[in-house]
Amino acid sequence: MDEPGGYAGPASKSAVVSDDSRAFDVVVVGAGPAGSASALEVARAGYTVALVERGPYPGAKNVYGGVVYGRILDELVPGWWERMPVQRWVTRRATMIMTPTQALTVDMRAQDWGRPPYNGATAYRADLDAWLADQAVAAGAVLIPATVATGLLRGPDGSVAGVRTDRPDGDLTASVVIACDGVNSFLAKEAGMYPAENVAEHTTLGVKETIALPREVIDERFGLSGRDGADIEMIGCTRGIPGGGFLYTNLESVSLGVVVGLTGLAAAKVRPEELIADLKEHPAIAPLVRGGTLQEYSAHLIPEGGYRSMPELVGDGMLVAGDAAAMCLAAGIWLEGVNFALGAGMYAGRAAAAALRSGDTSKSGLAAYRTMLEDSFVLADHRKLRKVPDLVLSQRVQADYPGLLCDLVQGLFTVENPAPKPGLRRLLRLGTRAHGVRRRDLVRDALVGLRSFG
């Protein structure tokens, strides 16, 4: 069997190319949402672009819970809602605060979200990624599947000049490389763009089960009809391990999963599938998933550090977008990564095209990328919510507050005749004492929350 010429593994130093000719204007690594959006924009601007994907087809290897917010697609694929492969439109969004025997839910239903221009939709990644990549290919991008980028190529001046792949004769030269290779991007690491920090602290593990149920059963249990769908985010359901849970409805299956901090998970010595098993037995969840057949179990890492754990986004001849740049917004009631990846990819593609137009693909030539991100939701939201990951993953939000809130509301609705109804203030005092919550922390957390979300 032919071995790829001079394999350059993740840790090996970048190979140097001397020749000035470039096979493509841009090479995009990874055909996830970020990569396909980049390739689409570059191809539309009239430049040649290769989209390198390690899976046999886009979406083959990608995992996610299932809700994608398509607003950014208005700009990228006008009229997307008529063509995107959607399972259901999310018209019901609930946040559930849980203890092992209690659940307090804020449940929002908006029929506006079920008609154009829509809000969120559940979709399968294999469908979604393949569709997005098709848009890029139709615009002229060259998709290279079943091919792994194993390292960077550099020009004599040290600027990035392409990628090496695991195929024989596998060097792919380009003026700009856009790294969209997902969480733990070794391309960004090889380029020296990640600060040398403990990555595990900023990474969470997402595990999910896809559970098949007949469409009518899902409609009935979740109170849905037609293409309407539900999205439930949960907090306080992970045995105190920092994280949260989710339950999304597809057409004929539901996705049930948890997202937990790596360090917390390791310290608790719990297997992630036990947490899903817990959820399936929880009195608030069990009736929703009962009788379903397990279709798939999958696990994937999520960059959850937010703004403060992002790498440098621009280098000489290189841009980083999506999960590769830790752009997943995983802040409590939000778990949004696909829309951020789409947005960042789109801007990266535009910045690369602008740099090619001006003939300067150095760091300064590509600097517009960062400006575009800052002027848009991509970095604005991340900056605004930068303190949220720490807050959401704190012991108080994970365990103390859910217990406190559930007890408070339970107390409010428990009828203790002949004793008179307790006042809210008394319940709060009892609750804070029972759950060891200090007023000081409560006020401080409320302020962080207000500043971030307000």
Partner 1 sequence: MLVVAAQRWIDPHPRVDAMTGRVDTDARAGGASEADQCALEHALRLAERFGGRCVAVTAGPVAAEEMLRQALAAGADEVLRVDAPPGGDPVLEDGAETARVLAAGLTARYGHVDLVLCGDRSADRGTGSTPAYLAARLGAAQALGLLDVGRDGDGLRALRRLDGGRRESLAVPLPAVCSVEPTAVRLRRASLPATLAARRSEIPHVAVDAAPRGAVAVKAVRTYRPRARVLPAPSGDDARRRTLELTGALVERAPSRVVTPSSPEQAAGELLGFLRAHGYLPEERDD
Ligand X SMILES: Cc1cc2nc3c(=O)[nH]c(=O)nc-3n(C[C@H](O)[C@H](O)[C@H](O)COP(=O)(O)OP(=O)(O)OC[C@H]3O[C@@H](n4cnc5c(N)ncnc54)[C@H](O)[C@@H]3O)c2cc1C
388 binds ligand X (CB under 6 A): no
Which region, judged by CB under 8 A, interacts with partner 1, from 105-113, 140-148, 202-210, 278-286? Answer: 140-148
State both tokens at 106.
Answer: 């804020």
Q: From the CB of 147, what's the least distance to partner 1, in Å?
A: 7
Q: Which helix (H) or strand (E) element contains residue 408?
A: helix 401-413
Provide the mask over 41-70, with x wherever binding to partner 1 is found by CB under 8 A and - wherever it is not. ---------x-----xx-xx----------
Interior CA angle at 363 toward 37 and 148, to 5°? 50
Let me know: does 275 contact 354? Beta carbons within 8 Å. no
Q: Determine the residue type at 172.
A: L
Q: Please work out the total of residues on this chain that contact partner 1, with binding judged by CB under 8 A.
A: 22
* Rounded distance between C-alpha atoms, residue 162 and residue 317, angstroms: 9
With CB under 8 A as the contact rule, the residue among 36, 62, 87, 147 that binds partner 1 is: 147
Which region, judged by CB under 8 A, interacts with partner 1, from 168-176, 213-221, 381-389, 426-434? Answer: 168-176
**Of 15 and 430, CB closest to partner 1:** 15
170 binds ligand X (CB under 6 A): no
CB atoms within 10 A of CB 380: 12
* Rounded distance between C-alpha atoms, residue 303 and residue 288, angstroms: 29
Q: From the CB of 33, what's the least distance to partner 1, in Å?
A: 17
341 binds ligand X (CB under 6 A): yes
* Rounded distance between C-alpha atoms, residue 72 and residue 91, angstroms: 19
Which region, judged by CB under 6 A, interacts with ligand X, from 26-34, 76-84, 233-241, 275-283? Answer: 26-34
With CB under 6 A as the contact rule, the residue among 53, 190, 316, 407 that binds ligand X is: 53
36 binds partner 1 (CB under 8 A): no
* Rounded distance between C-alpha atoms, residue 438 and residue 285, angstroms: 31
Contacts of 261 (CB under 8 A, 6+ apart): 201, 204, 205, 241, 242, 243, 304, 393
Q: From the CB of 244, what's the least distance to ligand X, in Å?
A: 11
294 binds partner 1 (CB under 8 A): no
Peptide bond into 418 cis (omega under 30): yes
Q: Determine the residue type at 247.
A: L
Contacts of 290 (CB under 8 A, 6+ apart): none
Tell me the residue number closest to ligand X, measured at CB: 337
369 binds ligand X (CB under 6 A): no
Measured in whole angstroms, the distance separating CA 434 from the mean position of its chain's CA atoms is 36
Of 388, 371, 393, nearest to 204 (Cα)?
Answer: 393
With CB under 6 A as the contact rule, the residue among 39, 42, 52, 313 that binds ligand X is: 52
Residue 200 phi/psi, 5° resolution? -55, -35
Span 291-330, contacts to ligand X by CB under 6 A: 300, 302, 322-324, 328
DSSP summary character for residue 400: I
**Of 99 and 210, CB closest to ligand X:** 210
Measured in whole angstroms, the distance separating CA 426 from the mean position of its chain's CA atoms is 41
Of 37, 11, 327, 323, nearest to 181 (Cα)?
Answer: 323
With CB under 6 A as the contact rule, the residue among 8, 26, 32, 222 that binds ligand X is: 32
Residue 270 binding result from ligand X, partner 1, none, given CB thresholds of 5 to 8 Å by partner type: none
With CB under 8 A as the contact rule, the residue among 97, 121, 144, 178 that binds partner 1 is: 144
With CB under 8 A as the contact rule, the residue among 94, 130, 268, 430 that binds partner 1 is: 130
| Residues near ligand X (CB under 6 A) | 29-35, 52-55, 61-68, 148-149, 180-182, 206, 208, 257, 300, 302, 322-324, 328, 335-339, 341
| Residues near partner 1 (CB under 8 A) | 1-2, 4, 23, 50, 56-57, 59-60, 126, 130, 142-144, 147, 165, 167-172
